[in-house]
Chain A
């Protein structure tokens, strides 16, 4: 049943004069701020932050946490997001003082343990991807893509070539074309064939002397392995272009194939997908990039290097594309990912992929009789269904997704990839048990039955969440992007409050 009371904003708990903070008594001489700062730069009016007690803070954010759903709460079969279990031991080791409380500008000899960890992480990622050198700098998958494309641009320019186009399959993630644009490229869309693979004819026609690279996810966002990958690589390389591997779907190939062996020149990995670092409600992630030998000089700096028993950060790489973020990447995330790799080892990682692929195929075949399966072939770690047949009953994929919420599930990725109508992309991951898969399958089948018997139950879902469906159009038409106290609201009639 829906909770009737909404949760006030922290500002609405505020009472003038109330406070939570605890600070030591000032132990240095009191001086007047006016004697230190020039007058126009002394803050005239305090920021309207909440005035609440410590228990107010704790109750409020605990209440908010209960209005949220994470992997620890239940199954999140989000395609291409790899929402697997986030191991507690990784959280624990990341909080060790020797990792959490070190300053990035400490002398190198005082952070040897951190550098040792980063060095070994680089090496293991190189072994997993089959690349010659990895940089841990990028903060996310999208930043990894962009950094990878900048390297490709710098590589071509170093050879005196001006290549302006990046080829991107129509089923790719939205960050691919966006990263290409931010890296200064024009993107060209390549069609998929009837098997969900890159259409070789379209590719042949698109490549040319202006081709900088092809960006590919393999398996694709359809969860299908592109069996022509070697031919694709040949076509792109013969035209003088490079191959970029979007590592979003790496969970499908650990121990079975490596982008380096498929012909890819540049790779990024999403450590928050394949390597279990938590998604954090939208971040932070980490997106290390790896390259083949010819591109090593262009990697973002710094790189961790080993000189016998001593580790050091090397930023002295004249051809590098430079720094892509502050300091040395999202170190706290790197610690968690390395803890995962050390927990699994080569056998564990291979088993991860086997179970992930087994789970996806099992669910796909169980659901196929009930919801249309556009590509009827063995899938990898995820698969895409289409609910377009159900539209005749007045029910859309969105409705099914919302109905799943009533059963305690986070719905699959919907309306993506874009080439499938009413798409529903399901990625179970390897950490879910057969019981969980079976229960989810039964729930989806039950929803299909409801669509026959009482479609309004589905159309009007969800029925049990703390809020009903939202008026998203209103949010965009009349954006309210911050809280204002009532008395302030009275004075401001503007749309953007």
Chain B
């Protein structure tokens, strides 16, 4: 058998160790597995590859994908291409971080504990909330956890969710609701915004919480003030799903009395990576801190009085509370949260605002440029952040196919989730898109329409 470099034992050592155990054969260690279920044949998978073969084969598979470094992408819809500073990769690539276990031994884990404490502080600052956890799986699962939190806090079982919330987020919420036997009621929309009248009609003292997105799936800026007032009036919790980059320019939900703010943290220094791993942001008020799911880092002192950091309020969690835990979540996305922390440190107070401003201004330019094409118009007239829905005079699938031939990855086809918005696409414009690229998109669109 050829040697496997991850396995250090020599044959002599294996024999020595077996001899110490009083055994002749390795197989004897497995005598406890009943003969009826002992595998008689090797696992039916292909033979091993050397490092060189692995690199070539993976290189071949990777090359079959058109990537955003070679193509100009206008896709957003929940995952965004932003410039990722080299600093982020350099820090996240330090193996003291990425090969570490969960920081249950704080004396040798102060590095990640402190970094996540800093993360929690930055998330509070971004969202305008009082406390943040150490992160969850991603935006959609964070939203579902927020919904369950609202139900537990209000002892009610019905949640309202705007149809202007990302379709996948609502799907994930439904899956969690099935588990918890919660009722989900969707609220319709008009001109790209949650229908306030319908929300008012549906709201009542049986509602645990109301979930809206800000900016919403269509990029539109929801009137949080009115939405929050309607919700809180009935004792329901107000839950806002945000884009963390938008918090550089938009007034945070905390200012409008949000009870829980969740977000997809990917735009903060995490690569697109075909949808994961990302990180779920969840922040809330002091009143709800003991209902928060997931890990939380707190500041304390060691026995000599030095400042130090530790996992805290663990009485909420599954490893202590088992079936009575606030959630079954065990891991956080520590490494992705670390990337977000380094990103936010690097961008800083000024840089985040500048990124947000550039995103918004590029979107304004794109709107101007694209709507000057005959037949192209905005689907909604509401103010947007860095995404905008457009109606085209042709099928988006056919248009996108043509764009692809010119090295452009087109927008998200809205009819997939909203049949009534046929021939419509959602296009995103981040700071990573240049004026020239937007102009090229417009020219190509003009040519194919």
- Whether B435 sits at the interface, judged by CB under 8 Å, is yes
CB of B171 within 8 A of CB of A322, answer yes
Bound CA–CA A164/B120 (angstroms): 38
> Which of A44, A57, A99 is within 8 Å of B274, CB to CB?
A99
The 10 A-B residue pairs with the shortest CB-CB distance, nearest first, are: A327-B275, A98-B62, A113-B64, A345-B48, A21-B351, A68-B111, A70-B99, A280-B335, A104-B275, A284-B277
- Whether A469 sits at the interface, judged by CB under 8 Å, is yes
Q: Across the interface, which residues of B come within 8 angstroms of A145, CB to CB?
A: 328
CB of A343 within 8 A of CB of B13, answer no
Chain B proximity of A13: nearest CB distance (Å): 9
CB of A40 within 8 A of CB of B17, answer no
Interface string of A356-391 (1 = CB under 8 A from B): 011101100110000000000110100000000000
Which chain A residues (324-361) contact chain B, with CB distance < 8 Å? 324-333, 335, 339, 341-352, 354-355, 357-359, 361
- Name the residue of chain B whose CB is nearest to the CB of A356: B7
Q: Across the interface, which residues of B come within 8 angstroms of A240, CB to CB?
A: none
Bound CA–CA A224/B31 (angstroms): 12
Interface string of A391-420 (1 = CB under 8 A from B): 000000000011001000011000010000
Q: Across the interface, which residues of A come within 8 angstroms of B110, CB to CB?
A: 7, 64, 67-68, 466-467
CB of B65 within 8 A of CB of A110, answer yes
Chain A proximity of B256: nearest CB distance (Å): 8
Given known A-B contacts A280-B97, A280-B98, A346-B42, A465 and B107 have beta carbons under 8 A apart: yes
CB of B286 within 8 A of CB of A496, answer yes
Bound CA–CA A468/B306 (angstroms): 8
- Name the residue of chain A whose CB is nearest to the CB of B289: A496
- Whether B448 sits at the interface, judged by CB under 8 Å, is no
Extra contacts, 18 of them, besides A62-B91, A283-B332, A283-B336 (Cβ < 8 A), are A10-B118, A21-B355, A40-B251, A47-B247, A93-B54, A93-B62, A99-B65, A102-B274, A140-B330, A141-B330, A142-B318, A175-B318, A281-B338, A284-B334, A326-B278, A350-B43, A468-B306, A479-B296
Q: Across the interface, which residues of A come within 8 angstroms of B221, CB to CB?
A: 37-38, 41
Which chain A residues (161-193) contact chain B, with CB distance < 8 Å? 173-184, 187
- Which of A288-296, A426-434, A449-457 lies at the interface? A426-434
CB of B276 within 8 A of CB of A37, answer no
Chain A proximity of B151: nearest CB distance (Å): 12
Interface string of A314-330 (1 = CB under 8 A from B): 00000001111111111
- Whether A208 sits at the interface, judged by CB under 8 Å, is no
Bound CA–CA A326/B434 (angstroms): 29
Q: Across the interface, which residues of B come within 8 angstroms of A62, CB to CB?
A: 91, 94
Bound CA–CA A47/B255 (angstroms): 12
- Name the residue of chain B whose CB is nearest to the CB of A145: B328
Size bracket, chain A contacts: 35 or more
CB of B296 within 8 A of CB of A481, answer yes
CB of B66 within 8 A of CB of A102, answer yes
Q: Across the interface, which residues of A come within 8 angstroms of B24, CB to CB?
A: none
Given known A-B contacts A61-B115, A142-B330, A431-B6, A43 and B276 have beta carbons under 8 A apart: no
Bound CA–CA A330/B137 (angstroms): 9
CB of A322 within 8 A of CB of B175, answer yes
CB of B347 within 8 A of CB of A281, answer no
Q: Across the interface, which residues of A come within 8 angstroms of B158, CB to CB?
A: none
- Whether A205 sits at the interface, judged by CB under 8 Å, is no
Given known A-B contacts A143-B137, A482-B132, A253 and B67 have beta carbons under 8 A apart: no
Q: List 13 A-B contacts (CB under 8 A).
A: A9-B114, A21-B350, A43-B248, A101-B271, A102-B67, A104-B272, A149-B179, A278-B99, A281-B97, A284-B333, A355-B7, A470-B107, A479-B312
Bound CA–CA A225/B31 (angstroms): 10
- Whether A247 sits at the interface, judged by CB under 8 Å, is no
Bound CA–CA A468/B34 (angstroms): 48
CB of B335 within 8 A of CB of A470, answer no
CB of A434 within 8 A of CB of B349, answer no
CB of B34 within 8 A of CB of A227, answer yes
CB of A230 within 8 A of CB of B34, answer yes
CB of A142 within 8 A of CB of B114, answer no
CB of B64 within 8 A of CB of A116, answer yes
> Which of B1, B328, B365 is within 8 Å of A347, CB to CB?
B1
Chain A proximity of B84: nearest CB distance (Å): 10
Q: Across the interface, which residues of B come within 8 angstroms of A468, CB to CB?
A: 107, 302-304, 306
CB of B99 within 8 A of CB of A279, answer yes
CB of B91 within 8 A of CB of A58, answer yes
